Amino acid sequence: MFVIVSKKNSTIHREPNKKSYARTQYKNEAAAKAGITRTIKFYNKAIEQVAEVVANGEAEYMAPKYNAYRDATDVALGRTHCADVNNYVVMSVVDYDAIEPMVEVTNMMTGKKYKESINTPSYMSASSEAYWSA
């Protein structure tokens, strides 16, 4: 199994056009590389869509893929690496497990600091309100 890893922060990349519950693992390296291609095409289409809307005299937020456009271009969001093909690398799951970064977070209820995977969803992290409100 293979994953797409973002070079910017070493997180596992999820294709923007896939559902949130979709798997992030691919059966082979070629499938993962195709996932990178789909990601770049998605962001390029968003950029083109916004350019077309602006050329028609409308505000850029009128484009259907405006949020994806902002992800790929807005420096303030800190995600301009999303549309850069050189930001992604394909790794086997075993190799990624060996280098997966851990981040230090604070438990929301006890105030104690602990380390968890950078890929932990917020609803599964004791540092988020969603974890405690279920």
| Residue ranges covered by each domain of the chain | 2-99, 101-134
Residue that wins the pLDDT comparison between 111 and 23: 111
pTM value? Answer: 0.79
Gyration radius of the chain's alpha carbons: 17
At 35-64, the pLDDT tens digits run 999 999 999 999 999 999 999 999 999 999
Amino acid in position 115: K
Task: Say if residue 79 is exposed, middle or buried (CB neighbours under 10 Å; 0-12, 13-18, 19+).
Answer: middle
pLDDT at res. 42: 93
